[in-house]
């Protein structure tokens, strides 16, 4: 099975670990990289390393940023008393693109999934609860409508209820097990405006 030299096999193997890259794509990318001019390869390698070294989680909302606090959390014009809870950074950008939401976010980096053995401690839930000790009027739960998204929404709402903070859920029928980023802005806004109290 060793068609390729060790180095190429290694490169294909590494690329194949990336999400959405099958072995065929990995091989195609590997050969593309090998045929690229050396300075392009260096620039690619450096940007990967730079991103990894300099990008971190925002101290407040846990989105990915290159400073201690992300631009949204640092913006005093945003309503810091309304926190929208999303599963990932892509969902957050989907809402941001509508330019109609002026609250802040909390990125969980996942959803509770008993099947995948992902529990409450594996997502940024403790961090959310810590934030709620501050001055917060409403928590909008915008996790997906997949089984995991719903489980997470239910879990969070039970956790927050005793604090007396309003908990709302975006209108359902939006992202059926799918990515929020693929949903058009009008639908997203409708989901946000049609949110119901939990």
Query: Which residues bind to Zn ion, rule: CB under 5 A?
Result: 58, 60-61, 70, 73
CB of 80 to Zn ion, least distance (A): 10
CB of 130 to Zn ion, least distance (A): 14
How far apart CA 168 and CA 139 sit, in angstroms, is: 6
CB of 131 to Zn ion, least distance (A): 10
The total number of residues written for the chain in this structure: 198
Of 70 and 82, the one with the shorter C-beta distance to Zn ion is 70
Of 84 and 174, the one with the shorter C-beta distance to Zn ion is 84
CB of 138 to Zn ion, least distance (A): 17
Of 12 and 58, the one with the shorter C-beta distance to Zn ion is 58
Residue with tokens 């941001």: 96
Of 11 and 140, the one with the shorter C-beta distance to Zn ion is 140
CB of 62 to Zn ion, least distance (A): 7
Of 58 and 89, the one with the shorter C-beta distance to Zn ion is 58
Residue with tokens 């990894």: 52
- For residues 106 and 83, the answer to whether their CB atoms sit within 8 Å is yes
Q: Please give the sequence-ordered ranges of beta strands (E in DSSP) within the chain, or none if there are none.
A: 56-57, 64-65, 79-86, 103-107, 138-141, 166-169, 196-197
- For residues 83 and 140, the answer to whether their CB atoms sit within 8 Å is yes
- Cα dist from 29 to 20, 22, 39, 82, 112, whole Å: 13, 11, 17, 43, 34
């Amino acid at each position: 099975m060793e068609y390729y030299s060790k180095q190429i096999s290694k490169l294909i193997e590494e690329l194949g670990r990336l999400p959405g890259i099958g072995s065929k794509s990995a091989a195609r990318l590997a050969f593309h990289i090998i045929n690229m001019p050396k300075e392009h390869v260096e620039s690619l390698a450096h940007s990967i390393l730079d991103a990894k070294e300099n990008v971190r989680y925002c101290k407040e909302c846990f989105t990915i940023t290159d400073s201690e606090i992300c631009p949204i959390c640092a913006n005093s014009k945003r309503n810091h008393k309304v926190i929208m809870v999303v599963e990932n950074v892509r969902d957050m950008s989907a809402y941001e693109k509508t330019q109609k939401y002026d609250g802040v976010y909390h990125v969980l980096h996942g959803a509770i999934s008993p099947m995948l053995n992902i529990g409450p401690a594996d997502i940024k839930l403790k961090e959310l609860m810590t934030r709620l000790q501050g001055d917060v009027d409403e928590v909008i739960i915008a996790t997906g409508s997949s089984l995991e998204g719903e489980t997470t929404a239910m879990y969070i709402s039970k956790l927050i209820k005793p604090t007396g903070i309003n908990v709302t859920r975006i209108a359902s029928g939006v992202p059926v097990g799918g990515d929020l980023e693929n949903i058009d802005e009008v639908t997203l806004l409708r989901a946000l405006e049609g949110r119901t109290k939990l």
